Amino acid sequence: MSGREGRVPRQRRARGAAESLGSIVLAFESIVVFLGGLAIYGLGALPPQIPGWWGIVAGAVLAIVMVLTGRVLRHHWGIALGWALQLVVALGAVLVPALALVALIFGAMWGYATIKGASLDARNARLASEADIVNGD
């Protein structure tokens, strides 16, 4: 008899719509942000006194932070951190103007995910509480 047979499987934590949608947006955006770092390096968009490889490092670090932020979206500060990351991507347009388009598209997706996701979570909570009242026998 192995040790796994007697274990009860752990129940997964319920994730809300805002958390699920937000983590999906940040995961896909992290790929684009890393590629944006490669574009900054390849185009030589950094000032001459900063080595070009810092573009790759910045893109990689920002991509990792985005993926990690997707894990903390259950907290209100996680959503705020996501908005701050959208601002950082928008500021990248100073170096490569094409990043403004990336910031616009993913910023709109992030806004939809967080705002509509929160309204879906509120609606689902309301429906669940109404179901408890109706079936409260």
pLDDT per residue as tens digits for the range 53-74: 999 999 999 999 999 999 999 9
Whole-number average pLDDT of the chain: 90
The whole-number pLDDT of residue 79 equals: 95
The whole-number pLDDT of residue 64 equals: 98
How far apart CA 7 and CA 66 sit, in angstroms, is: 34
pLDDT per residue as tens digits for the range 14-57: 788 999 999 999 999 999 999 999 999 999 999 999 999 999 99
pLDDT per residue as tens digits for the range 62-105: 999 999 999 999 999 999 999 999 999 999 999 999 999 999 99
Cβ(8)–Cβ(26) under 8 Å?
Answer: no
Domain residues of the chain, as ranges? 18-127
